[in-house]
Amino acid sequence: MLDRVKDRGLVLLGCGKMGSAMLEGWLAQGVPPASVHVIEPYPSDWLKSTGVHLNEPLPAAPAIVLLAVKPQMMGAALPQVVALGGGDTLFLSIAAGTTIASFEETFGATTPIIRAMPNTPAAVGRGISAITGNPRATEADLQLAEALLSAVGQVVRLEGEHQMDAVTAVSGSGPAYVFHLIEALAAAGEAEGLPAELAMQLARATVCGAGELAQQSPETASQLRINVTSPGGTTAAALAVLMDAETGFPPLLRRAVKAAADRGRELGK
C-alpha cells in the first residue's frame, strides 16, 4: 500500500507532536522523504533535517492528505489543501471532535475521507488508532490508512462514526487517566511516608510494568488481577476500596469516560 504513497506523494498538514511521531515512523518504514510534503508554519529543527518537502508547492493529486492540526486550527489550515478535494486523493483526519460530514462540506461529498483517533503513546510506537470512513473511502483507502497509522502502533476499524466519541473517551483521552493514576499513586505513597522521588519512581515503574505485562500476557486483565491478590492480604484490602460498587474505580471511570464522550459529541456539533 505504501507504493501508492511513493508514486503519488503524501501531504502532511501540521507536524506537531503527533504528526512528527507519524512522520518518523513512515520514514523508518521506507517512505522516501522526497514523497512527503509537509505544511507546518513552525517547523522543528528535526523536521527541517528530514529531507521532506517543507512548505513547498503541493503535488496535483497526492495519494493522501493527513490532517494533523488541532481542531481549533482546522478552519485556518484547510484552505491550503481544499483544492485537492473532489478527486481520488484520500483525506485522513486525526482531529478529535471534527466529523466526517464537516470535512465533506469542505472537500465535497465525492471525496474519500477517513477519520482516525490515535493517542499519544504513538510517540513511542505504542499507540492505538481507531478508523472509520465515509462511503467514498474504499477498502484500498482503509488499508492505506491502516498502513500509515500502524507506523505508530495498533489500528482497529470501527463499525461506524457513531463509535468515535466512545473511542476518544477510552483510548484517545485514556493516557491522561493513566498518567493521573501515576500521580495519585505516588502521592499516596508519600502520604504513607515515602520520599517524593522514590514514591514517583515506584509508581511510574509499577504502572508501566503492569501495562507491559497486560500487553504481553495471554491472560485477561481480570485474571492478572486475581493472580496478584492473595485472600485476606494487602492487595485484597486495597482492592476492597478500589472495586467498591459506589465509590471505587468502576463507577468513577464510567463517569469520567461518559464526561469525555459527552464533550466529544458537543465538539462534533
Residue 18 assigned ligand-binding role: yes
Residue 207 assigned ligand-binding role: no
* Orientation of helix 139-149 relative to helix 17-29, angle to 10°: 100
Quick one: CA dihedral 106, 261, 92, 161, positive or negative? negative
Task: Give the three-state DSSP class for 13.
Answer: strand
C-alpha cell at 63: 495519494
Residue 208 assigned ligand-binding role: no
Residue 172 assigned ligand-binding role: no
The DSSP code for 143 is: H
Residue 17 assigned ligand-binding role: yes
C-alpha cell at 94: 486525526
Termini Cα distance of the chain: 34
Q: Are 12 and 23 in contact (CB under 8 A)?
A: yes
Residue 228 assigned ligand-binding role: no
Own/partner long-range contacts of 203-209 (Cβ < 8 Å, ≥24 apart): 207/178, 207/181, 207/182
Residue 68 assigned ligand-binding role: yes
Residue 38 assigned ligand-binding role: no
Residue 48 assigned ligand-binding role: no
CA angle 188, 186, 227 (to 5 degrees): 85
Alpha-carbon distance 145 to 130, whole Å? 10
Q: Are 133 and 141 in contact (CB under 8 A)?
A: yes
Q: Are 71 and 103 in contact (CB under 8 A)?
A: no
Cβ neighbours of residue 228 under 8 Å, at least 6 residues apart? 235
Annotated binding-site ranges for NADPH:
55
**Binding annotation for NADP(+):** 13-18, 68-71
> Binding-site residues, please?
13-18, 55, 68-71
